[in-house]
Structure 1
C-alpha cells in the first residue's frame, strides 16, 4: 500500500494562503482601534463593531460548515471566504462613511465565517489519524508566522508615516490577494458524496450535538468550559498599559509571542501525535493559567516578554491540536458541521468571557479579572485530567 505524504500539496498551499492572509490581517490588528477612532467611531461603537463582527463569525461558521458537508465540497467556501476578507480590507480604507466602514468590517469577518470550517475539514481530509496533529500544527505555524510578520510591517511603515492608517488598509490588500490567488491552485480530492440532511435551516447545525459521538461531546464540553473564561487578548494589552509598558515594547512582545507560537506549533503537533492530544492541550492550559496569573501582578517590561513567550507556548499546544482532536472524533462526512458547531459555540463563549472579564475589571480590579481567567484555565485542566474518560484521549471513530 502506498504511504501517504505527511504534508500533501493542498496542505502546503493552504498553509501559505493562511500565511499571506494573516500578514494582511495582523498588519491592521494593532491599528484597527486607532483607525476607527480617526474615522469617527467612539470607544463604545468600536466595542459594538468588534463584538458584532465576532458574533457574525460565531453564528455563520456552523451554517457554512454544514453547507459544505451537504454539498460534498470544501473549496467553494474556502475561495469565497478568503476573497471576501481580502476585498473588504482596502474598502475599509477607502470609505469615509461610518455605516459603510461598519459594513466593510462585518464583510471582512463574514469571510472568516464562510471559510473556516470548510478549510479545517479539508485539512482533516488531507491527513491521516497518525499525522493529524502535525498537519494542523504545520498549518497553524504558517498562519502564526504571518501574524508575526504583519505587525512588523505595520511598525516599519508607521515609523516613517505616523498616523497614515488608511494607506495601511491598501497595503494589506496585496498579501490578501496573493492568498486568494493561491486558492485556485488547490485541487480538491474526490469525496464519497454530499451528506443528506433533513435539517436545512440556518441554525440546523446546532442539532449536530445529538448525533455526535460521545468522544466529541466530552472533548467539546471541556473546550467550551475553557472558552467561557478565555476573553479577549485586549485585556493583556490593557494590563501592559496599566503597568506603564511602552507601545513599542508591547508590540514587540506581541511579535515575539507570534514567533514562538509559529516555531512551536508543528513540534507540538508532532508531540500530540506521539503522546496524545489531551496531554499536550493540558500543557497549554497550564501555560495559560501561569501567563494570566503573571499578568495580574505585572510590574516590569522584562516580565512582559517572558509571559508573552509562554503565551506562545500555550497557543502552540492548543490551537491547531484542538482542531485535530475534534476531527478524530467525528465522521469524515460531517467534519464541516463538527468544526462549525464547536467554533460557533466557542465564539459565543469567548464573547461572553470578554464581557464578564470586562465587568470584573471595572467593578473589582484588573488583577481580579485576569485571575478569573487563570482560574478558568486551571478548572479546564482539571476537567481533562480527572473527568474526561480515558477512552476519549485520542479518537473513537475512524476517518476512513
Structure 2
C-alpha cells in the first residue's frame, strides 16, 4: 500500500548544502559531458581505436571510480569529515580536463580518464553520505532526486555547449575539450566556498574510532540485497558511450553526436526530482520494476528498430530508467546502512557496481565488434529481464507464509 505524501507545508526544507552540492554537480557535469559526448568518436575516428577498446576504457574508468569510493567512504567515516574528500575529488576532476585536449594517442586519453574517474571516486561516497548526514529520512528521496536532477541538467547542458562549439570551431573536438576546463574549475570553487561539512554533535569524539573488517557484520541482509540489485542493474546498463556509437551508425553527423546525451539527460533531469519525491512514498520494488521495464524497452528499440527516430526513442527511455532508479538506489543504501558506517556503505555499493560496470562494458564492446550493435543491446535487455525476475522471485519468497511449500 502506498503511503500518503505529507502536505508540502509539513515537510522540512532542504538544507543549503544540498542545493550547493547540486550546483557543484551541475558545473562538473557540464565540464565532463562536453568531453564525454565526443570522446567515443574522438577515440574511434581521430585516434583510430576499436569499439572494443572504447568498451574496455569506459569499463576500467567507471570501475576505477567505484572502487576508489570504498576507500574514500571509509576515510570519511574514519575522520568524521566529508568536505575535504569532496573538494579533492572535484579538484582532480577539474585538473584532468586539459589532458584530453592535449592527447595525441589513446594512452593519454586513458590516463586523463583514469584521473578524472579517480576524482569521481574520491568525492562520490562522501558526497552521498553527506546528503544523508544533513537531511532527515522523510525527505531523503527529494534530496537525492534534487542533486541528481541538477547533476543531470549539467549532463545535457554540456553536450549542447559541445554542439555549439563544434559548429563554431568547424568540428574541432580539441577546442571543445579546452572549453570544458572552465566549468570544472567553477565546480571546485563552489565546493570550497559553498558546501558545509557534516555537523559533529557535542557528544561526538574529535576522531571516529577505526573501522574494522569485522564491522562488515553490521551491514544487514537488506543492505547486501540492495548491493546485489545494484550489480544486476549495472550489468544491464553498460556505458552510454554505446548509445553515441549506435546513433552514429544510424547516420547521426559527427557534429550532432552530443544530441544523444542531451536527449537522455533532459529526460533524466526532468524525471529525477519527481521520481525522488515519489520514492519517499511508494514501494521501492514498484519503482525498480518500472525502471527495468523502461530499460528493456530502450534496449529493444536500440537493437531492433532501424532509423534515428527509434534510436532517439530508445535513448529517451534509457533516461527514464535512470531517473526512476538512480536516486532510489542511493536512498536505499542510506536507509539500510548503519549511521556510523554510512560513507563505507556507499563505498561498498559503488565498488560492487563499478566491477559490474567493467564487466558490462567489456562484454558490450566485444559483442559489438564480433556480432554487431543489436547483440550488445539484446544482451542488456536479457540482464534487465533477469533482474526483474529475481526481484519478483524475492518478493514472492518474502510474502510466502512460514512453512509453506
Tell me which interval the TM-score lies in, with the shorter structure as reference length. 0.7 to 0.9
1:371 aligned counterpart, secondary structure: helix
Tell me if structure 1 keeps the 8 A contact 2:268–2:320: yes
Shift of 1:108: 1.6
Q: In the alignment, which of 32, 36, 39 is matched to residue 29 of structure 1?
A: 36
Q: 2:246 aligns with which of 222, 233, 239?
A: 239
Q: Distance in 2 between matches of 1:114 and 1:248?
A: 33
Unmatched tracts of structure 1, length 5 or more: 393-400
Deviation at 1:249, TM superposition (A): 5.8
Q: Which of these residues, 173, 182, 187, is aligned with residue 196 of structure 2? A: 187
**For the residues of structure 2 that align with 1:388 and 1:77, how far apart are their CA atoms?**
38
In structure 2, the partner of 1:294 is 301
Give distance in 1, aligned partners of 2:362 and 2:281. 38
- Return the offset for 1:332: 1.4
Residue 196 (1) aligns with residue 209 (2) = yes
1:263-274 mapped onto 2 (5 Å cutoff):
263-274=270-281
Q: Which residue of 1 aligns with 2:161?
A: 153
For residues 280-317 of structure 1, the C-alpha deviation after alignment (integer angstroms, 9 at most, x for no partner) is 22211110011101111121222223222222211110
* Partner Cα separation in structure 1 for residue 257 and residue 302 of structure 2: 13
Partner of 1:139: 147
**d(CA) in 1 for partners of 2:215 and 2:360?**
24
Take 1:98 and 1:239, find their aligned partners in 2: how far apart are those partners? Answer: 21
Shift of 1:225: 2.0
Residue equivalent to 2:384: 377
Q: Secondary structure in 2 aligned to 1:349?
A: helix
More displaced stretch, 92-101 vs 310-319: 92-101
Partner of 2:402: none
* Deviating more after overlay: 349-358 vs 28-37: 28-37
Mapped to 2, the partners of 1:65 and 1:389 lie a distance apart of 34
Q: Secondary structure at the match of 2:136?
A: coil
Within 5 Å, give how 1:157-236 maps onto structure 2: 157-184=165-192, 185-191=194-200, 192-193=204-205, 194-197=207-210, 199=212, 209-236=216-243
Shift of 1:112: 0.5
Once residues 243 and 101 of structure 1 are traced to their aligned partners in structure 2, the CA distance between those partners, rounded to angstroms, is 26
Structure 1 runs (4+) greater than 6 angstroms displaced? 389-392
Deviation at 1:13, TM superposition (A): 0.3
Residues 215 and 45 of structure 1: CA distance in aligned 2, closer, same or farther (over 3 Å): closer
Supply the distance in 1 between the matched residues of 2:106 and 2:372 (Cα, whole angstroms). 33
Match of 2:138 in 1: 130
Query: Per the alignment, do residues 225 and 46 of structure 1 end up closer, same or farther by CA in structure 2, a change over 3 Å counting?
Result: closer
Residues 219, 388 of structure 1: 8 Å contact kept: no
**Equivalent residue for 1:14?**
21
Structure-2 residue corresponding to 1:347: 354
The 5-angstrom pairing of residues 73-92 of structure 1 reads 73-92=81-100
Change in CA separation of 1:29 and 1:73 when aligned onto 2, cut-off 3 Å:
same
Query: Would you say 1:332 and 2:339 are equivalent positions?
Result: yes
Alignment of 1:277-288 (within 5 A): 277-288=284-295
Change (3 A) 1:327 1:166: same
Three-state SS of the structure 1 residue aligned to 2:281 is helix
TM-score, normalization: structure 1? 0.87
Structure 1 residues 391, 176: CA separation in 2 closer, same or farther (over 3 Å shift)?
farther
Does the CA contact (< 8 Å) of 1:82 and 1:111 recur in 2? yes
The answer to whether the 8 Å contact 2:55/2:364 transfers is: no
Q: 1:167 to 1:250 in 2, by over 3 A?
A: closer
Q: How many residues align?
A: 385
- Per-residue CA deviations over 1:258-280 (Å, capped at 9, x if unaligned) read 11110111000111111133322
Corresponding position: 1:387 with 2:394? yes
SS at match of 1:130: helix
CA distance in 2, matches of 1:288, 1:45: 24
Alpha carbons of structure 1 residues 103 and 369: separation in structure 2 relative to 1, 3 Å: closer
Q: Using the alignment, how far apart are the partners of 1:303 and 1:362 within structure 2?
A: 22
